[in-house]
Structure 1
């Protein structure tokens, strides 16, 4: 009986921990109504390890974070482009976004500029950005072994938290923020992560046609 009660408590707190969190600015609708073009900038990605693997290379890890940064950006753009008829605004092509950021010297130091400064360079009305943080808790080999032992109901390698934000291009103010905790696995690609997150966010996404 005690074991069942403990399990119920754990399930309860797990659900609370994994709940989505949404912030909306009081003037969100007013700001959104004036916007036409939105840019998606590379996400800030952080890959950490609960137990650092053997032969860990800080340089290689940093390179992986950089690649995933634009991968998240591209995956989100692809998702939004696929459903473009469902949105009130258009989204700037990410290749154009990154070229303009590179020409301006902003691409590798976005955290040194305000969102309105970035929006001005890109010529857009708002900026979508955010952060993706991953904590690896198990090696890929260990995850595969778990998946086999559990008949496919395993393979979890870590936990990821994804934060998505929308900032106004005129004053840089935060208009909207979505936070979600996601389990990562050996079968999860960046496209899968964004697909899962956007399904959760779709009902609350401010650019969604009602």
Structure 2
């Protein structure tokens, strides 16, 4: 009986952990998607536009520190996405520009921290690629990190829900035209790294990813 209860507890905990990063999704595909992507050879992955907000602003909140955290997360998601695509390179019909090279070229062009001031075709031209893959990650934190850690201990290490977020992935060709867009809402917890977020997102989008063979 104890073994059965333990198995039920573990199964239920796993379902809860999985549900914490589930949410609604939407996919847009341009009528020109297949024709245009068939011409592409090299794709650049851009730093993500990241926004971190709080339902209740924490004590000793620093706007400057929050901006630095957003910048760190921006490049972390970019790097996680590149790593994921690199691991599965044989599944795709294109190659992906190394993100270090991408960021160096963006910095040289004066674009790295001013992405919202340039059009996607200007960015693609500066990077010398056929298309650019980028997006947005917006999260609202609802529980303090200390509270989340306490929940993790209480519930056997699965962690409590600490926030909600939306993740958007977009593909624009060298002319700046939007070819594809993937949007997903999800919950976040202290066990969810940017690698986890990207892994989960790409599993959901794998069948619809434009360059999948």
Structure 2 length-normalised TM: 0.88
Show the counterpart of 1:137. Answer: 142
Aligned residues: 193
The whole-number CA distance in structure 2 between the counterparts of 1:140 and 1:20 is 27
Change (3 A) 1:98 1:153: closer
Among 43, 51, 58, the alignment partner of 2:56 is: 51
Among 144, 161, 184, the alignment partner of 1:180 is: 184
Is residue 171 of structure 2 the alignment partner of residue 161 of structure 1? Answer: no
Contact 2:23 2:187 survives alignment (8 Å): no
Change (3 A) 1:187 1:154: closer
Q: Secondary structure at the match of 1:208?
A: coil
- Aligned-pair distance for 1:165? 0.2
Is residue 29 of structure 2 the alignment partner of residue 37 of structure 1? Answer: no
The whole-number CA distance in structure 2 between the counterparts of 1:95 and 1:191 is 17
Deviations 1:55-84 (A, max 9, x none): 000000000001111111000000000000
> 1:1-210 counterparts in 2 under 5 A?
18-169=23-174, 171-209=175-213
Contact 2:171 2:178 survives alignment (8 Å): yes
Q: Secondary structure at the match of 1:111?
A: helix
Q: Secondary structure at the match of 1:124?
A: coil
Contact 2:91 2:212 survives alignment (8 Å): yes
Q: Secondary structure at the match of 1:175?
A: strand
User: Structure 2: which 5+ runs fail to align?
Assistant: 1-18
- Aligned-pair distance for 1:18? 2.0
The whole-number CA distance in structure 2 between the counterparts of 1:149 and 1:93 is 41
- Aligned-pair distance for 1:153? 4.5
Structure 1 length-normalised TM: 0.89
Q: CA RMSD in A?
A: 1.3
Contact 2:159 2:190 survives alignment (8 Å): no
User: Structure 1: which 5+ runs fail to align?
Assistant: 1-13
- Aligned-pair distance for 1:148? 2.7
